[in-house]
A and B are shown apart, each in its own frame.
Chain A
Amino acid sequence: MSEERKIRILVAKPGLDGHDRGAKVIASAFRDAGLEVIYTGLHQTPEMIVSAAVQEDVDVVAMSVLSGAHMTLFPRVKKLLDEAGADHVLLTGGGIIPEDDVAALEAQGVGRLFGPGTPTSAAIEYVKEWFSAQNTA
């Protein structure tokens, strides 16, 4: 009776850097792949991101971080998600993130992170696979 579950994803652009072209490209790509994408615009604080993620009951939060602040932003959002009872939400994202940092963040429960130049299809495939693994388990 219930139709196929739509994947809901929040595409978030934290930090003070002034453009969101990358975030818009990824948001449109997810939309074209059949996902419901909530896009909230520039300059999102971790608190804004988590409050939107909870209210929208998203499955995934994808953050685009180009400012170099990934080592504070990802752990902070992860922590706030857990505190809000949203530890089932996949936190993923992209940016210019050195390999060591990627490993450190993954160890803290952050999902896969994509470097610049990764085709959007890779992120889409990752999210879709994660989602179906969650929902068949």
Chain B
Amino acid sequence: MSRIETLDARTVELLARFRTGAVPALARAISVVEGQRPGFQALLHEVMASGPQARRIGFTGPPGAGKSSLVAAAATTYRVRDEHVGVVAVDPTSPYSGGALLGDRIRMNDVATDPGIFIRSMATRGSLGGLATTTKEVVDLMDGFGFARILIETVGVGQTELEITAAADTVVVVLVPESGDAIQAMKAGLMEIADVFVVNKADRPGSARLVKELRQALHLRAGSALKDIPAHHGVDLGRALKRERTTDSAAQEVEDWPVPVLTTNALTNEGVDDLVDAVERHRSWLVESGQLEERRRDRAEGRVRDVVNRELQRITWSSDEVRRLLGEGVLGIAGGEETPYSVARRITDALLR
């Protein structure tokens, strides 16, 4: 594969150590990518040349639901099966100070010194999607380093942080009885992103009720509510919906994935084996249905868009001419001779010239 830019000496050295499997080199490569330091794109280009290999599993859900505890429990299970596990855990950056308190490792101490596990904490640094701006790239680095499994923990989500779908093959949504009823999960868009639902803290009252509600809500969503309604004006709603969700014609044969609702107790590991099995079954379904390829294509497209957007931003705001036009334009706006639109137009015209 062609190079995208000549690698500087430092990147060459880092890459060489990375390829010998040196853990500090992976850790440093992550910092380079996370800080978007010089050479980070060339580094990613080299590391990603062999394509995605790892199985990427996302854990999302409200604050305190037990995401970190479950990640640790799942990691332990994968280690028993002798797989190497990478973990990326995201916590929020404080909008006030720009600092962050990254505390997900507290729940992962049991696996902290296992050389087959690598855990990295990331601060969101202003990104709003539930992941940090470069979390997906960090996962690529771990993949390139050779971890077979990569577990991604999002920040505790509220209602709009759904970027995990673009980072993971399988999304596990973790809820607890205290986090509210199934309606709240529906409002938050969690029905659409969950490949597996987990009701954690099954030792607490209310978990059976939540499981039942979630199953009902999923049943509604699967289109069963429309199945018995006869086609109207020549449109079969059930089929139209289904077509919308599967574009690959070869995939039409395969049934939709029945989203399981499981219960776990992350403190005693109860239900964790079932969770790991469900993730495995989802993986097989992804492969058989053609969805894995489709998701990877979507992911690749999204990544190209991200990189182009980032480059365009960088080029735009580092241009002296743009800065001059902006400075003058702002004065013009204040003087009533310009609007933000006329100034923006002048800037884009200048860039495209």
**A contact set with B: CB distance below 8 Å:** 1-3, 5-6, 8, 27-28, 30-41, 43-45, 47-48, 51-52, 54-57, 84-86
Task: Given A1-B314, A6-B35, A48-B109, decide whether A34 and B98 contact each other with a Cβ distance below 8 A.
Answer: yes
Q: Are A37 and B101 in contact (CB under 8 A)?
A: yes
Task: Given A1-B38, A3-B36, decide whether A57 and B28 contact each other with a Cβ distance below 8 A.
Answer: yes
Q: Are A40 and B106 in contact (CB under 8 A)?
A: yes
Q: Are B23 and A55 in contact (CB under 8 A)?
A: yes
* In the bound complex, CA of A88 to CA of B240 (Å): 60
Q: Which of A3, A31, A34, A55 contacts B119 (CB 8 A)?
A: A55
By a CB distance below 8 angstroms, the chain B residues around A56 are 27, 120-121
User: Which residues of B from 105 to 126 have beta carbons under 8 Å from A?
Assistant: 105-106, 109, 112-113, 118-121, 123, 125
Q: Which of A28, A38, A86 contacts B102 (CB 8 A)?
A: A38
> Chain B interface secondary structure, helix, strand, loop or mixed?
mixed
Q: Looking across the interface, which residue of chain A has its beta carbon closest to that of B87?
A: A55
By a CB distance below 8 angstroms, the chain A residues around B266 are none
Contact with A along B86-110 (1 / 0, CB 8 A): 0000000110111111110110010
Chain B: residues with Cβ within 8 Å of the partner, total of 33
Q: Which of A5, A36, A45, A51 contacts B123 (CB 8 A)?
A: A36
Give A32 Cβ to nearest chain B Cβ, in Å.
5
* In the bound complex, CA of A5 to CA of B102 (Å): 17
* In the bound complex, CA of A43 to CA of B110 (Å): 11
* In the bound complex, CA of A36 to CA of B91 (Å): 10
Q: Which of A8, A27, A32, A41 contacts B97 (CB 8 A)?
A: A32
Q: Does B43 contact A (CB under 8 A)?
A: no
Q: Does B53 contact A (CB under 8 A)?
A: no
* In the bound complex, CA of A30 to CA of B101 (Å): 9
